[in-house]
A = this chain, B = another copy of it.
Amino acid sequence: MSRPTIHDVARVAGVSLSTVDRVLNGREGVKSVTQNRVAEAIRQLGYERNIAAANLSRKRRYRLLFILPGGGNSFMRGLEQEIAAQMDAWEFTAISVTNVPAFDDAALADALRRVDPQGTDGVALVATDSAIVRAALAELRGKGIAAVTLVSDLPSSQRQRFVGIDNVQAGRTAASLLGRFCRWRPGRIALVAGSMLVRDHAERRLGFEQVLRSEFPEQEVLPPLEGFDDQEIVGDRLTDMLSGTPDVVGIYSLGAGNRGVARAIAPLPAERRPSVVVHELTAYSREALLDGSFDAVIHQDRAQEIRVAVELLQALIDGSPIDPDAQRIGVEVYLRDNLP
Binding site for B on A (CB under 8 A): 2, 48, 50-53, 55-56, 59, 61, 88, 91, 169-170, 172-173, 175-177, 180-185, 207, 211, 275, 295, 328, 330-338, 340
Contacts and interface: CB of A to CB of B under 8 A. Distances in A.
Given A173-B337, A335-B333, A338-B173, A56 B48 contact: no
A169 B337 contact: yes
Sorted from nearest, which 6 A-B pairs have the closest CB atoms?
A52-B52, A172-B337, A184-B185, A184-B184, A333-B333, A331-B338
A340 B330 contact: yes
B295 A335 contact: no
A321 to B, nearest CB: 14
How many copies of this protein are present in the complex? 2
Contacts of A331: 337-338
Given A176-B336, A183-B184, 4 more contacts: A56-B56, A169-B338, A170-B338, A172-B338
A335 B211 CA distance: 12
5 contacts: A51-B91, A53-B56, A176-B336, A180-B180, A333-B338
A333 B334 CA distance: 8
Nearest to A51: B91
Nearest to A210: B337
A50 to B, nearest CB: 7
Contact of A337 (B61, B176, B295, B338): B176
Contacts of A334: 333
Nearest to A171: B337
B338 A180 contact: no
A172 B55 CA distance: 46
A52 B61 contact: no
A333 B332 CA distance: 7
Contacts of A2: 59, 61
Given A61-B2, A181-B181, A184-B185, A88 B48 contact: yes
